[in-house]
Structures are given as structure tokens and as C-alpha cells.
Amino acid sequence: MEIYLPIAGMPVSILLLLGIGFGTGILSGMFGLGGGFLTTPLLILIGIPPTVAVGSEASHIAASSVSGLVAHARRGNVDLRMGLVLLAGGTLGAVTGLAIFRLLSRLGQIDDAISLIYVVVLGTVGVLMGLESLRALRRHRLGIRYRPSRQTLLRGLPLRVPFRRSGRYMSIVPPVLTGFVVGVLSTIMGVGGGFILVPAMIYLLGVPTQVVVGTSLLQIAVVTTIATFLHAAFNQNVDLLLGLLLLIGAVVGAQIGSRLMVQLRGEQIRFLMAGLVLLVVVMLGLNLVLPPDDPFIVERVL
């Protein structure tokens, strides 16, 4: 059964969209991430225009991260001050990301740029995660205990404030910069950015694990909400029907995913996820490298 997507301007199978939402929902429930980095490339691969995929996915991530945020806030797992500092950078990042998005659109390079940024960012994250999880797996086999260093190299920076919930006293410069970078990528790529934000908060900012997910969800929820509005208002590339169908699949998938595979250790999950990320990179990369079926592409002049 197909449904005509008003903004994408094409009919797509409802089951396919629910399935993509469900599949990425399961994975995001398992890995504790939003899953936008999988959904957006999949939408592009099934033929949704890349700009519409990015804009609509922003609305999907906004909804699913708000739902996660509510759950975490109830358990008190959100460092509000840390979240607001991240957001100061994140909001600026979202606006900057939109400006870059519009510049690339004007130059006619946005579609390729989205794929290229995906390949570079996901490729880097996938390789790093894969190597790290392999090291961790080897350590586990050898029976070595490993503790990530809580000591960060950012001691001398100004504007130090206490982050009570995280138990840290540090400069606001690193979290603002982290929020900014994630905000830019989030808006251009149509992702929440958890796959960068979570490791950055753990390893760079030294935020304790129990508040990382809740606090990162605050940043993700607000940034993708802003991104949704900016995309809709300036690019007209948010397809609400597309976002809605993905979300329905995703909320069900996430609930199932969060109950699955709890017996797997963190490094095993990270290893699987690295494989998945690299698979997406290869698929998108092939589209960029292989000669196109027809070198001429047509665009509408507005």
C-alpha cells in the first residue's frame, strides 16, 4: 500500500517507511542513539530527495528524542546546566548549519554534499568506534580492567562553573564548542548527533555515564526542534507525513530494541554498531564514486 508524500512529491510504500522507522528504532533502542544517521541515508537510498530526507528526519528525531528526554527527566538523569551550556553552542550551530545548507543548495551541490559529509563523518566515527571496541574486546579476553580517564586536557580554560549533577567544575568553552559542532552537523545531516555527542561528553567533558544520555537528549531534542523549524521555514523540505510514518515505526521499534540484547556487553554492541555504520558509509560512498547511469541531472528553477 502506497502513500503519496506531499513534500517529497512521490508515492512510497507505507510498510517500507514503517519498516525503516521500526528497524532503526530497534537499533536506537539497543544502542541508545537516535538512529538518524541510519534513517536519513536509507531514505536517500530509496529515492527520497536528500534535502527532504534531511528536513523530515529532523522532525522525526525531534519527536523521538523528546519522548526519550521525558523518560530520563523523570528519573532525574538530566544535568540541566550542562544541557543549557551545550545548547548555547547547539542553537548557534543549528543556525550556522542551516546557512551552510542553503549556500550549498544555491550552488547546486547540496545532494552530493550531504552524501559526502555522511561518508566522511560516519566513516571516521565508524573506524574509531570499531578500533576502540576491538581493543576493548581484546582487553576483555586478556582480563584487563579498563577505566576511562576522567582527567581532561582542558584545565586551563576560562569561565569555569560548577556542573553539580555531573560532579564537574570546568570551563564552559568545551561544552559550548561541542554543542556547536554537533548542532552544525545535526542540521546539515538530518541527525540528532548522539553518535558524536555521547562519546564527546564521556571522553572530552568527563560527564558521568548515568547523566550522559539524558543530557545529550536535551541538546538533541532542542537542536532538532530548531532545525525542523528552520528547514520548514527556509527550505520547505519537511515532509510531515514522512516524519510521522517513521516515528510510528520508531517508537514501537525502540521499545522492543531497549529490551533486546541486554546480555551483550558495551564493547560488543559498539563493535556491531561500527559495522553497521561502515556498511552505510560503503553504500553512500559507492553512489559517489561509481559513474552515474546518466550524467545529466535536472533541477527545477524556482
Partner 1 sequence: MRGWRNALGLAAVVAGGAVCGASAPAQMPMLVDLANHRIHIDAAFTGADLLLFGALDQRGDVVVRVVGPPTDIAVRQKINTGGIWLNGNRVNVGTVPSFYSVATSRPLDDIASPDLRRDLELDVRYQVSADIPEAHRAGFIRNFTRRGLYSVEQVPVKIIGGRLFRVTISLPEETPPGEYWVETLLFREGTLTHRRINRLLVERVGFESFLFDLAQERPAEYGLLAVVLALAMGVTAAEVFRRV
Residues 6+ positions from 45 with CB-CB distance below 8 Å: 283, 284, 287
Does 231 bind partner 1 (CB under 8 A)? Our answer is yes
Task: Out of 26, 78, 205, 238, name the contact with partner 1 by CB under 8 A.
Answer: 238
Query: Residue 91 CB, nearest distance to partner 1 (Å)?
Result: 14
CA–CA distance, 241 with 12 (Å, rounded to integer): 11
Give 92's contacts (C-beta < 8 A, 6+ positions apart): 180, 183
The verdict on 3 binding partner 1 (CB under 8 A) reads: yes
| Residue count (the chain) | 302
Q: Between residues 119 and 181, which has the closer beta carbon with respect to partner 1? A: 119
Contact 166, 211 (CB under 8 A): yes
| From 61-69, 86-94, 194-202, 207-215, span contacting partner 1 (CB under 8 A) | 61-69
Can you tell me which of 221, 277, 278, 281 binds partner 1, judged by CB under 8 A?
Answer: 221
Nearest residue (CB) to partner 1, 72 versus 165: 72
- Rounded to whole angstroms, the Cα distance separating 226 from 240 reads 15
141-to-130, 134, 145, 263, 290 alpha-carbon distances in Å: 16, 11, 10, 17, 41
Where does this chain touch partner 1 (CB under 8 A) — which range of 92-100, 123-131, 198-206, 286-294?
Answer: 286-294
Which stretch, 76-84, 92-100, 128-136, 283-291, contacts partner 1 (CB under 8 A)? Answer: 283-291
d(CA 210, CA 299): 48
301 near partner 1 (CB under 8 A): yes
Q: What is the largest CA-CA distance in the chain?
A: 63
Q: Does 294 bind partner 1 (CB under 8 A)?
A: yes
C-alpha distances in Å from residue 300, one per residue of 43, 108, 297: 21, 11, 10
Residues 116-175 that bind partner 1 (CB under 8 A): 116
Calpha distance 91→105 (Å, rounded): 21
Say if residues 120 and 210 touch (Cβ distance below 8 Å).
Answer: no
Cβ distance to partner 1 smaller for residue 141 or 299:
299
> Residue 77 or residue 166: which is nearer to partner 1 going by CB?
77
**Taking CB under 8 A as the rule, does residue 186 contact partner 1?**
no
Q: Site mask, partner 1, residues 9-28, x = CB under 8 A?
A: xxx-----------------
Q: Which three cell numbers stand for residue 156?
A: 586551563
Q: Does 299 bind partner 1 (CB under 8 A)?
A: yes
**Shortest distance (Å) from residue 122 CB to partner 1:** 16
Residues at the contact surface with partner 1, assessed by CB under 8 A: 2-4, 6-7, 9-11, 59-60, 62-71, 108-109, 111-112, 116, 221, 225, 228-234, 236, 238, 240-241, 243-244, 247, 251, 255, 288-292, 294-302
